Amino acid sequence: MNFEIIVPALSFRSDAGDLDAGATARYAEHAADTWINRFILSGSTTRGDLLNPSERASILDLWLRVAPPSRLIACCWCESDFQEARDRRIQPMAIMKDLNTGSSALRFLGDLAAESLVYSHPMYSQVILDPELAYMARQTKQLPKGAKLAKISLDQVTQLRKVVGSDFLLWDGSSRHIAASIAAGAGGVIATPLSALPRPFPDRSLPKIQETVNKIQANLDRLPSRSSRTEFLFKSGSEALRARC
């Protein structure tokens, strides 16, 4: 079974709230030593939107010291982020944000560079990349290179795959049922729990990956808020770095 595991990378902050370049660089080195296929940099998991553009650019440079551009995805929160990604030959991921109509979504997709991915989440936009929008985008030649799709059902994965074709990078935003996601048509999943860099890190075996993901996800599910879940991942990631020293 061919599949990709994509992990949102953590970006650490100092007590003052700015980027902790040292901790982030150590994390990048540790994470890059694993078999993980790709890393999303400055994504929503690590609240990349709260960093400024120069901090997000510096994160790209930190990661390029330990991983090739082909393993990296730059989550882009403003126009300058796209240029920083292009300058470094890193694939950009655009946030589908504040799109209220199908026509505005098509304009958004049409303005993207051909190599762009999109992040579709109902938290950010009323209009998401569903089968209907994907069909219109393909008919008008405005379909992006791929998408991270949050809050999507397995049936929707199957429907989308039929619409977008085999070359589209279709990634399920959930890793709760990896085998089922792949069987439904996803080419990969976003395994957020693995951003904690658990010890021991699982082999690249689907049962082992799912077992590890489930254990961490159970801890995350017991937490009451998004911020507490993010804090858990950062704490776990910090512990992994200390154990490596």
Q: How far is CA 192 from CA 44, 110, 173, 229, 231, in A?
A: 11, 29, 9, 11, 13
Token pair 């021991």 in the structure block, residue: 200
Specify the pLDDT at position 241. 85
Does pLDDT of 204 surpass 90? yes
Does pLDDT of 243 surpass 90? no
Strands 169-172 and 4-8 come out as unpaired
Domain range annotation of the chain? 4-244
Mean pLDDT of the chain: 95
Q: Which amino acid is at 100?
A: N
Token pair 């395994």 in the structure block, residue: 191
Does pLDDT of 65 surpass 90? yes
Specify the pLDDT at position 171. 98
Confidence of residue 244 (pLDDT cuts 50, 70, 90): confident
Taking Cα atoms as reference points, which of 43, 70, 32 lies closest to residue 230? 43
Structure tokens, 153:
């059902």
Q: How many CB atoms lie within 10 A of CB 107?
A: 12
Q: What's domain 4-244's superfamily in CATH?
A: Aldolase class I (3.20.20.70)
Does pLDDT of 95 surpass 90? yes
Q: What is the mean predicted confidence (pLDDT) over 29-54?
A: 94
Specify the pLDDT at position 1. 67
- Spatial separation of the C-alpha atoms in residues 172 and 196, rounded to whole Å: 19
Question: What's the 3-state SS for the chain?
Answer: CCCEEEEECCCCECCCCCECHHHHHHHHHHHHCCCCCEEEECCCCCCHHHCCHHHHHHHHHHHHCCCCHHHEEEEECCHHHHHHHHHCCCEEEEECCCCCCHHHHHHHHHCCCCCCEEEECCCCCCCCCCHHHHHHHHHCCCCCCEEEECCCCHHHHHHHHHHHCCCCEEEECCCCCHHHHHHHCCCEEECHHHHHCCCCCCCCCHHHHHHHHHHHHHHHHCCCCHHHHHHHHHHHHHHHHHHHC
Structure tokens, 60:
């790209």
Specify the pLDDT at position 240. 85
Q: How many CA atoms lie within 13 A of 139 on its CB side?
A: 7
Specify the pLDDT at position 245. 65
Angle (CA) 191-195-199 rounded to 5° is 105
- Spatial separation of the C-alpha atoms in residues 14 and 18, rounded to whole Å: 6
Does pLDDT of 82 surpass 90? yes
Specify the pLDDT at position 169. 97
Q: What is the mean predicted confidence (pLDDT) over 116-128?
A: 95
Higher-scoring residue by pLDDT: 42, 14 = 42
Specify the pLDDT at position 15. 82
Rounded to two decimals, the pTM is 0.95
